[in-house]
Structure formats: C-alpha cells, structure tokens
Structure 1
C-alpha cells in the first residue's frame, strides 16, 4: 500500500459554505480518515493550500485544522505544479475570472455553482476546460443527501408505477436584519452582485430534477421580491433588488409535471426546509433532506370532501418511513472523494462544467419567463451551444 498526496488550491474557504462543508466536513475529514482509498488499495490524501483575501482568517483556519499552506496571492498557488486541482467557493461574481486563470495554469477544476453569473460565462468555462483537456466538476451536493438517495432508490425500484407529478417546497424566513440579524449575506438580495433565489437555487433544482425524473422540457416562472428593504451586516438599510421568491411550473420528460416553490420569505410548516413529493399511479413518497416516507396505493385512504363534518382521517399516520439500510456520509464529502478519484485514476464522474452551465441555463430561462410572463422551452445544451 502506497500513500499519495495531491495539492489542492482552495479559494474562498473563509466563507460559511467553504469553511464548514468543503474544508472541515470534506477535506479535513478525508485527511483525518487517512485519505481516499483508490482502486488498487493505495490511499490519496488531499494537501490543501488555502487562498483568500483576509490573511488573519486564513492563518486561523490553517492553525485550527493543521494545514501547513495558505496565501493571499492566487498566482503563487497557481504557479506551483504540485497543486493539481483548483477549487472555487468564492462569491459567484468572482468565480468565472478565477477559474479562467486556473484553466490557463492547466489545473483540474472543481467549483461551487453557479459557475458564473451568466449562461454565456458558464458555457465559456465549459468550453475552455474541454479545449485545455483538464478534468472538471461542479458541486451537486443535494444528489448525495440521504432523503434524495432514498427517493432515487424508490424510482429505480419502480415503486411509483408511472410518475405523474412532483411538488417541491423549499425555503424559510430570512430575517430582514433590523430587529434580528439575517441568516444570509446581504449580497444575496442584490441583483447587481449576483444575488437572487433563482440564481442561487435553480441550478440545484436543475440537477435534482434531471437526475431523478429526466430532462426539463418547458417552464413558466413568476419571481417576486416580497421584502423590498433589508438591513446589511453594518446596520445600513438597502433596497433589495433581487428576487427572494420564485414560483415555477415545469414540464418534464414523459409528461411529468413539477411545481417548485422557492422562498426566503416563508415560515416553515413542513417536515424539512426542502420537501419533494412524488405522486405516481402505484404510490407516492415525500422526501426531505434526510428522511423519506411512502404511501402505496393499497394503503391510500379514501377521503371525501365535506367541509360540514369533522375529518377523522389522520393523514400523517398513513405514511411509512423508508429505512436507511446504509451509512450516509456528508454529501459534500462524498462528491469530493469521487472527484479526487476521478482526477487521480480516472474513476467515473458525471457532473462537469457543462452540467453546471445547464443550471445557469435554467436560472436564465426562469428569469426570462417571469419577465415575459410566458412559458419557455428548455433547449438541449451541448458544448457547441443550445440545440432547439
């Protein structure tokens, strides 16, 4: 058995997502377990260099998690041939330019989504990486959540019969920042800084729907800014110029209809912050981030609409929880391990920069649909462009 080390440039890890999910729960966790086991029995250990603009934050992170390398100069990290991978979890507006520099430096690319603030930018990144011959991937973390994996298990087993419809509810109340501090950064609500729930969440909905149910054929979306004014991290009031809610109707492959509500201005009365209900001819299921419950046709109650009498059916007790039957690891860590093996030994990895561009395509079409108040077709997307 041989242990190998792979240099990874981690840009933007001082942010919340970069620190918690990508650094601590993924890279540090992989290092602590002794690396990723390769096909031949060897182990691959990630050796990160932390990159950012704040030297104090970088130094503190490095010291806290026993990381030897950090820098505020991206050029230094890119010039080092030891670093084979460039990872980006910066704010969206900074991502495209940095990835271009990394591709030019012949680094393999792994990044958060959206990959750019525009479809054109996302497509250019996919084409540049393809032309340079560098391996590339985009974070698609929700595919590896326990609830989504259980739902996929049901689909693969044919539990639903013919799938009829999908209903997705996502969101929670994000405080305005006046009498309680907001849970999201203020740039999320500024269109000019790449904010908005459509740009933030529709790239997720694209890969979730594609992975579970097949391609999206058309969509109609209404975007809204429910909270027009918010207060930023410095206590200053500002105008919210980006959408904080989106209400979508999508036509999927094989006639499946999906309704997707996304909102940062909704109070939660659901099992989870994200719930996905799938209804089919043979049965239904409701999945959250971790759990998934089912109701087969033989267990379906027979309600009758009559508002004049008390409803004695306890609908919640009619559902059965799907057992785990396996150990579920952190979703971000799972995909990191897959990407590391993809770079080192060419193991399968399906989620490249083109997949990331598909997410931005859906976000762009959603915004256009809302602006024009009409249904829009979703063309097939390839490295050569859109096919109608």
Structure 2
C-alpha cells in the first residue's frame, strides 16, 4: 500500500508538471496569436490605404481610357468619312473616264468593222474582175494556140500520109500488114474535148477562188475574235489587279481589327485582375472590421479554429490516456515491459508479518512453454539398466 501511494504521489507530481507545461505553452501560444493579431491589424491598415490608392488610380485610368476611346472613335469616324468622300469622288471620275473610253472604243470598233466590210466587198469585186479577165485571156490565147496546133497537125498529117503511101509502095508482102481497130478523132472532136476540159478547169478555178474567199473571211473573223480575246485578257488582268488591291485592303483592315481586339482583351484582363484585387482587399477589410468588433474574421475561419481546438483536445486526451496506461503497466524501477509478470518476492511462512521478501539471486526457475515445433521431436526411449 505504501508503495502504491508513493507511485500515485509521483504520478500526481508528474501530472502537475505536465499541466503546468501545457498551461505555459497555451499562454505562449495566446501571446503569439495576440502579437500576430496586432501585426495583421497593421497590415490590414496598410492594405486598406493601398486599396484606396489603387481605386483612385483605377478611376483615373478608367476616365482617361474612356476619354481616349471617345477621341479615338471621333477621329477615326471623321477620318473614315473624309476617306470615303475622297474615294467616292475618285471613283466617280474614273467611272466617267471609263464610260468615255468605252464609247470611243465602241465607235472606233464600228468604224473599223464597216471599213473592213467595204474592203472585203471591194476585194471580192476585184477578184471577180480578175477572174473574168483571166478567163477571157485564156480563151483568146487558147484559140490562137489551137489554130496554130491545128495547122501543125494538118502538116504532120499530110506528111504522114505521104510517108504511108511510100511505105505501102515499098512494102512487097501485103499479107503481113494489119490495120488497127478504132477510129481517130477528128480535129473538131478534139477541139470540143479541149473546150470541155477548159470549162471544167474554169469551174475548178472558180471553186478554188470561192474557197480562198471563205478562207479569208474565216481568217478575218478569227483575227477579230483573237483581238477580242486579247482585249478580254487585258480586262481580266485589270480586274485581277483591282481584286488583289481590294484583298490587300481587306487584309490590312482585318489586321487592324485584330490589333484592336487584342488591345481590348488586354484591357479587359487588366480590369478583371484589378477587380479581383479589389474583392480581395474588400474581404481583408471585412475581416479587419470583424476582428475589431471582437468577432472571428469569417465563419469558415471560426469553424476551422473550432475544429483545430477539437483536434487538440482529442490529441491531449489520447496522450493522457496513453500516459495513464503506461504508468499502470510500469514497474516501480521505471522499466516498461509487455512480458508476463513473474513474482520476484515471496512471503515467508514463519514470519508473523506478511511482508514480501525478494528472491535476490536465487529466484526460482520457470521453464519455457513447449512451442509448436515440439511435435517434430520424438520422445527418447530409455534403455533398461542391466546390472
């Protein structure tokens, strides 16, 4: 009993010291929290001043930005109006010039076409006259040639007849002679055939001249179409250049619009960041006001603080319980063990007072309990002793 009372007394001393240490720690933590609170108050004051300065700067920047945007829009609208008026005037002048040139080109084309038609008609008439003259000259020349040829043929005919008579007279064996079949055409028939061939040749020449005229007309039409195609190429080239210029202007305007949109997005991002900073500063100011009124900065912080206190109390209770269990399991000499308790003292029978005495160095031996591997060991067979 005395030993137990001593143990309880020492345990109470230890608990007292622990509680004092915990109280001093809590006081130190409270003092640190009070210092942090004062520092946070100072920081909140500084931040509120900075917020006010930033709000003033923001208002000034917004006003300057709005004024600059208004000036820019006014200048841009006036500039656009002036440019549009100038471009419209230039466009009207160009359209007038273009209409005049188109009329002049149409008139010149009509005149050229009329002149070409007249030239083609005159050429056709000229070729008809030349063809008639050629026919007459051919007929006249052919008549003379035929007359001369007929005279020569008559002379040759008379010569051949004389030669034939001479050969007949000179030929002795008349049975060997053989007359040829057929008839010799007369000079009149030959002249008729020649005239027919000349007429046929004249028809062919007329057809050839007609084909040449058709060919010339086709070539003239093809040249006209070729000229029109070349003029169309020039027009298409002019239109392509104009389209390229318009596309370049469109690209330039799109680049300007993209730059303006990018600038606007940057301004919007800056405004959003400033709004976020303003909301953060407002939250800090609200927290400062609540702290000055003796309230927690916010409900979430209060809940978190209560949760931290609950965790701290729970850990403290667990530590106390653990210490109490350790003290219960602790021996008087301060050795902690989980082994089974063994008696290290005995009560003598002859002693009238039941006071336990230690065994000392002559403690009784306690054999270990047999383990699970004892089943693998055979029991020894003792041999009988022979005397």
* TM superposition score category, shorter chain reference: under 0.3
TM-score by length of 1: 0.15
- Whichever structure has more helix as a proportion of its residues is 2
TM-score by length of 2: 0.15
Which of the two has higher C-alpha Rg?
2
- Whichever structure has more strand as a proportion of its residues is 1
